[in-house]
Amino acid sequence: MSVRMRSLFVARIGISRRLSSGNGGGLAGQRGKAQCAPQLPACDIEPQKYQGRSQQEHLSLRRSHLSPFTLSYYHSPLLLHHGYMQWLWDADGRRYLDFYGGIVTVIVGHCHPKVTAAAQQQLGHLWHTSNVYMHPGIGPYMEKLCSTLPPPLQVVFLVNSGSEANDLAMLLARIHTGNHSIITLRGSYHGGTQATMGLTSISSWKFNVAAASGCAPVMCPDVYRGLWGGSKCRDSPVQTTRSCNCHSDTGECQAREAYLSEFRELLLSAAPLRLAGFIAEPIQGVNGVVQYPRGFLSEAANIVRARGGLYISDEVQTGFGRLGSHFWGFQSLGVTPDIITTAKGIANGFPMGAVVTTPDIAACMGEALSFNTFGGGPLACAIGSAVLQVIDEEGLMQNAEARGTDLMLQLSDLRKEFEVVGDVRGKGLMVGLELVRSKESREPLPPTDMRRIWEDCKEMGLLLGIGGIFGQTFRLKPPMCISQEDVDFAVAVLRLALQRHTLRKSGEV
């Protein structure tokens, strides 16, 4: 493994020196601020005292019996034993504000009372029966799920994960069209199975084996780090500071046209005349909340459809109201996909996923037997139904839009304060904070610096994700139940962590 790849791998799994809790001193206006960590917002839940094995015993068991490459966040991995809504507690009783949501999965809150009650009630009746039999929950659940989608997206395949959903979407596209090649975007993450590894276009997630053939990646239309783009290009409350000659009032976007030209060039040079499909996340998740120019995906979908292919929208991270303005990410793009895939938030952390498509496309699966032992089981459907009910009754999509917009606006103030904050982007509660050596160079902040800031946030009670090809972006994707106080606390923690980073680099600490 090269030095660069090793450093990126280490950055992703969070192996780093533990940051001391000592205070820094000195730059003008920052010495005093850097001496007092923000106070966690109040919480009226008192978890039971943890009485299990020690953290060291669990670490020993993990090293002995889990894969040696199982990801472990932080130098001193957290031993979590209790969760409630946006809060997590470790074995020592320390409370954390979860701004990563179990990797963008806990969408309505940890152990949400209504979801928990639905699961407990179903457990008392029927845990499991394969879908070769009927049970009372599956039909109403699929009806409720389809009510969030426009016709003709009304046929559901229930599965167990996002990787499995994308694997099935590939199969559907290829059988239905009779074609093989699928176009994907650089920087995309669509799963880690051998098949979906062909769709995933981030090198650190690829093994040196033959992944699924017929997957061609095209340039990612990243308006901050890519070749084209600027301050008028993306659908976000906060724009990049790069200048551009686009005209958002008329819909003219030079960056979009340049990236579409590159898209067409790829099809001319590296793809056959007939395509199976094009898969894209409405906003890239693992790559650090990367957004494209307005209108890019709808035009790219039209280009692929002209070659016989289907448009697949990977909604694993963007679905279920997380983006605030719409229930599904594609609904703000001006194009309806032929297939959507989803997982993660669909059941708030219970293993579940889905593929939704049209009756015409679904019919191709009649060519052979298709079966999923656990997909659409009674427990999964009960939990999935409760999640949909909570999102609606508690106005969580609207909360995601309000809290997410304020979060991004506050983070844009950090961009003005700190040279290392290069970009703030996102929509709703899918937010990226990209750190750089300098605004002018846009060179990614080194992994060691990212990890120290990340560890510092954890020590102050804030849990974040890290993403981006270079591990240079903090991913802020909390449960949609967070409050304004939570947003203010998260920004205060990030401000202090960035101040400490600035002091370290100046030699003041």
Domain ranges of the chain: 3-99+396-506, 112-160+344-394, 162-342
The arithmetic mean of pLDDT across residues 326-355, rounded, is: 97
pLDDT band at 283 (very low <50, low <70, confident <90, very high): very high
- Residue 395 has a pLDDT of 98
Whether 306 shows a pLDDT value over 60: the answer reads yes
Q: How far apart are CA 166 and CA 201, in angstroms?
A: 14
* Cα 138 to Cα 143: distance, rounded to the nearest angstrom: 9
Task: Reply yes or no on domain 162-342 having CATH 3.30.2020.10.
Answer: no
Q: What is the mean pLDDT of residues 472-478?
A: 98
Q: What is the pLDDT of residue 131?
A: 83
102-130 mean pLDDT: 96
Residue 90 has pLDDT above 80, yes or no: yes
User: Angle at Cα 19 formed by Cα 17 and Cα 20, nearest 5°?
Assistant: 125
Task: Give 408-447 pLDDT, tens digit per residue.
Answer: 999 999 999 999 999 999 999 999 999 999 999 999 999 9
Work out the pLDDT band at 56, boundaries 50, 70, 90. Answer: confident
Confidence band (pLDDT; 50, 70, 90) for 4?
A: very low
- The residue with greater pLDDT, 66 or 254, is 254
Is 90 exceeded by the pLDDT of residue 213?
no
Strands 80-84, 421-427: pairing is unpaired
- What class does CATH assign to 112-160+344-394? alpha beta
Place 8 in a pLDDT band, splitting at 50, 70 and 90. very low
For residues 377 and 129, the answer to whether their CB atoms sit within 8 Å is yes
pLDDT above 90 covers a percentage of the chain that reads 78
DSSP code, position 282: S
Q: Considering only CA atoms, which of 149, 92, 84 is closest in space to residue 358?
A: 149
The count of C-alpha atoms lying within 13 angstroms of the C-alpha of 434, restricted to the half-sphere facing its C-beta, is 28
* pLDDT confidence band for 57 (50 / 70 / 90): confident
DSSP classification of residue 419: T
Tokens of 88: 């997590």
Q: What residues are paired with 423 via a beta bridge?
A: 434
Nearest-angstrom CA–CA distance, 217 and 263: 10
Q: CA gyration radius for the chain?
A: 23
Buried b vs exposed e over 266-299: b needs ≥16 C-beta within 10 Å? ebeeebeeebbbbbbbbbbbbbbbbbbbbbbbeb
Please report the pLDDT score of residue 243 as a whole number.
87
* Residue 68 scores a pLDDT above 80: no
Q: Residue 277's beta-bridge partner residues?
A: 182, 310
Q: Say if residue 334's pLDDT is above 80.
A: yes
- Helix H or strand E encompassing 96: strand 95-98
Residue 446's pLDDT is: 96
- pLDDT at position 448 over 60: yes
pLDDT at residue number 5: 43
Per residue in 39-52, pLDDT (tens digit) is: 999 999 999 899 98
**Global confidence as pTM:** 0.91
Same fold: 112-160+344-394 with 162-342: yes
Band of the pLDDT at 97, cuts 50, 70, 90? very high
Q: Evaluate the CA torsion angle 327, 329, 334, 335 in order and state its sign.
A: negative
Q: In this predicted model, which residue has the larger pLDDT, 354 or 5?
A: 354
The residue-averaged pLDDT of 361-380 equals 92
Which residues, 6 or more positions from 208, have their beta carbon under 8 angstroms from its beta carbon?
none
Distance CA 408, CA 400 (A): 12
Closest C-alpha among 507, 498, 488, 478 to residue 435: 498
The CATH superfamily of 3-99+396-506 is Aspartate Aminotransferase, domain 1 (3.90.1150.10)
